[in-house]
Amino acid sequence: MAMTNNKTQCFTCNKDKITFSCRGCSKEFCLIHLPEHYQRLNEELNHIIDDYNEFKENINEQKQNPENHSLIKQINQWEIESIVKIQQKAQDCREIVIESLQTLINDIEMKFNDLNKQIQELQKENDFNEINLNHLTNQLRKITQELNSPSNLSIQQDSQSFINNISIILPKKPKFTKWKQNAITVAAENGQGQQLNQLNRPVGILIDKEKNIFIADNFNHRIVEWKYNAREGQVIAGGNGKGNRMDQLNCPTDVIVDQQTHSIIIADSLNRRAIRWMNQKQQILIHNIDCQGLAIDKHGFLYGSDYKKNEVRRWKMGEFNNEGIIVAGGNRKGNQLNQLDYPTFIFVDEDQSIYVADRENHRVMKWRKDAKEGRIVAGGNGDGRSLNQLSSPEGIIVDDSSQIYVADSGNHRIMRWYEGKEEGEIIVGGNGAGNQPNQLKGPASLCFDDEESLYITDYWNHRIQKFEIVQ
C-alpha cells in the first residue's frame, strides 16, 4: 500500500517536506526554515521595540524641554533676524540724524557768530535802545529754539512694519452648532408656478449680507432675487422664456456673485454656458460646458463643474479665451480616486482645495491644489441612508473648521461631516420626503447667513426653507 503524501512545499526552500504553518502569514515552513522565519519575526519585533523606545525618548524630551521644539526654534530665529533688522534700521537713522545735526549746527553757529558781531558793534558804539535789545533777544531765542527743536528734522513712524509679522495658527475646533428642526419658508409659500411669489424646482442659492436671497429658478428659466422678508421675488436675469438668446436662460442650476464687477455669473445648464449678467447686459464667459456648479476663489479664479465630461475646470477671471485647466476629474467616468461620476456643486476653500459633490458615486471628494487625484471626505460607501453613506449629494459648503455640509438629496436631509471622520450626522431633515416644516424633498443647495441660519432650496417642494440656530 502506498504511503499518504503529507508533504507540502516549504515557502523558503520550495521543496516538498513536512511543514508547519505560520498563523500570522499563513505560509508553510519546513523544520529547517521555521526557526529562521521566527528569527526574522524576532528581529522585526526588536526593530519595533527600538522605534518605540526612540519615540518614548522623543516624547519625554518634548515634555521636559518644550523650548527645543522646531516651532520655538522658528520663533527664536524670527526674533534674531528681526532684531538685526531693527538694529540696522536704528543705526541708519542715527547716521542720518548725526549728519543732519552737524549741518544744522554749522548753520546755527554762523547765525550765532553774526549775532555776536551785532552785539559787539552795539557795545563798541554804545548806541542802542530797547528796540535793539528786543531784536537781539528775539534772534537769540530763535536760534536757541532751532538748536533744541529743529523744525525740519523729525522722526516719522510708518504704520507698515518692515519686519515680517508672525502669528501662531492653532488648529480650529469644530463648532457643534445645532439648528431648530422646524423650518420657516422664506420664499415661495405658494407652491409650484411661475408667478413672482412662486418657484419651479429651485436649485442653486446664495444670500448676501442684507439677507437677500438669489435663487436659480430652474424650470422657470430665471434668476430671482428675494428681498429680506419680501412676499415675492423679482427677476434679475432671464425670465423671458426658455431659449438661448442672450437675454434668455435654459434651466439655470447655479448663481454666484463676482464681487470685483458686482455682477452675477450663472450656470446656464442646458445652454451649455456660463454667462455673466450685469445691469441687464450679458456676456458669455465659458462656452460648451455642461455646468451644474460654479465657484470663485479669493485669487480671482472661476471654477465650473462639467457633469458630462466628469471634471472640474478653472479659469482666470478675464482670461476665458482658453479651455481652462482641469483641477478635478478629467479621467472619464468612474469611481477611482482620480475620477468623478456626474459632479454637481463645488466649493473652493482658502487653500484652493476643491470639494466636489460626486453625485453618482454618492460621495464628496476633496482635491488639493495641483493634486492628481482626490480623496473621499464624505460618503463613498455606496448609495444608502446610514450615517456613513450619501444618496445623490448635491450642494456642499465647508466652514473654517473643515466641517462639510452636504445636501443629501436622495435621503431628503442635510448632513454634516467633519473631515477625517468615518460618518456624518443629520443636522436637519431626515424625516422622509415631505412638505412639513421638519421635512425636505430633494434638497438641492444650501447656504448660511451671518447669523448661521441655514437656507435650503427644497427642490421638489418648490420653496426655500430657513432653519434657525438653537440659541
- Note whether 202 and 454 are within 8 A (CB): no
Q: Which residue has the higher pLDDT, 355 or 258?
A: 355
Query: Over 80: is that where the pLDDT of 206 sits?
Result: yes
Domain 184-467 carries which CATH code?
Answer: 2.120.10.30
pLDDT digits (tens, 9 = 90+) for 144-176: 877 777 666 777 777 667 777 777 766 677 778
pLDDT digits (tens, 9 = 90+) for 211-269: 999 999 999 999 999 999 999 999 999 999 999 999 999 999 999 999 888 899 999 99
Query: Over 90: is that where the pLDDT of 322 sits?
Result: no
Cα(446)–Cα(397) distance, integer angstroms: 7
- Mean pLDDT for 198-210 is 96
**Whole-number pLDDT of residue 280:** 85
**Whole-number pLDDT of residue 151:** 62
**Whole-number pLDDT of residue 455:** 98
- Note whether 197 and 426 are within 8 A (CB): no
Write the secondary structure of the chain as one string of H (helix), E (strand) and C (coil). CCCCCCCEECCCCCCEECEEECCCCCCEEECCHHHHHHHHHHHHHHHHHHHHHHHHHHHHHHHHCHHHCHHHHHHHHHHHHHHHHHHHHHHHHHHHHHHHHHHHHHHHHHHHHHHHHHHHHHHHHCCCCHHHHHHHHHHHHHHHHHHHCCCCCCCCCCCCCCCCCCCCCCCCCCCCCCECCCCEEEECCCCECCCCCCECCEEEEEECCCCCEEEEEHHHCEEEEECCCCCCCEEEEECCCECCCCCCECCEEEEEEECCCCEEEEEEHHHCEEEEEECCEEEEEEECCCEEEEEECCCCEEEEEECCCCEEEEEECCCCCCCCEEEEECCCECCCCCCECCEEEEEECCCCCEEEEEHHHCEEEEECCCCCCCEEEEECCCECCCCCCECCEEEEEECCCCEEEEEEHHHCEEEEEECCCCCCEEEEECCCECCCCCCECCEEEEEECCCCCEEEEEHHHCEEEEECECC
The residues spanned by each domain of the chain are 7-65, 91-169, 184-467
**Whole-number pLDDT of residue 126:** 74
Cα(355)–Cα(379) distance, integer angstroms: 13
- Mean pLDDT for 423-439 is 97
**Whole-number pLDDT of residue 2:** 46
Task: Give me the torsion for CA of 268, 400, 437, 294, rounded to 10°.
Answer: 0
- Mean pLDDT for 10-25 is 87
Q: What is the mean pLDDT of the chain?
A: 90
- Mean pLDDT for 324-353 is 96
- Mean pLDDT for 321-332 is 94
Which residue is listed with cell 554804545? 126
Burial class (CB in 10 A: 0-12, 13-18, 19+), 441: middle
Query: Over 90: is that where the pLDDT of 89 sits?
Result: no
Query: Over 50: is that where the pLDDT of 76 sits?
Result: yes
**Whole-number pLDDT of residue 292:** 96
Smallest CA-to-CA distance from 413 within 438, 448, 380, 379 is with 438
Percent of the chain with pLDDT over 70: 97
For residue 114 the three cell numbers come to 553774526
Smallest CA-to-CA distance from 222 within 262, 197, 194, 245 is with 194
Cα(17)–Cα(13) distance, integer angstroms: 10
Cα(72)–Cα(253) distance, integer angstroms: 50
**Whole-number pLDDT of residue 129:** 76
For residue 284 the three cell numbers come to 458669455
- Mean pLDDT for 175-204 is 95
- Note whether 340 and 361 are within 8 A (CB): yes
Query: Over 80: is that where the pLDDT of 133 sits?
Result: no
pLDDT digits (tens, 9 = 90+) for 365-422: 999 999 999 999 999 999 999 999 999 999 999 998 889 999 999 999 999 999 888 9
* 1 confidence band (pLDDT: 50, 70, 90): very low
pLDDT digits (tens, 9 = 90+) for 265-307: 999 999 999 999 998 899 999 999 999 999 999 999 999 999 9
Task: Give me the torsion for CA of 325, 304, 261, 203, rounded to 10°.
Answer: 180
Cα(253)–Cα(305) distance, integer angstroms: 11
Measured N-to-C along each axis, helices 70-125 and 130-148 cross at an angle, to the nearest 10 degrees, of 160
Cα(379)–Cα(408) distance, integer angstroms: 10
- Mean pLDDT for 345-373 is 96
Q: Which residue has the higher pLDDT, 345 or 41?
A: 345
Which amino acid, 423? E
- 293 contacts: CB under 8 Å, gap ≥ 6: 204, 253, 254, 267, 304, 305, 343, 344, 345, 346, 357
Query: Over 60: is that where the pLDDT of 465 sits?
Result: yes
Burial class (CB in 10 A: 0-12, 13-18, 19+), 156: exposed
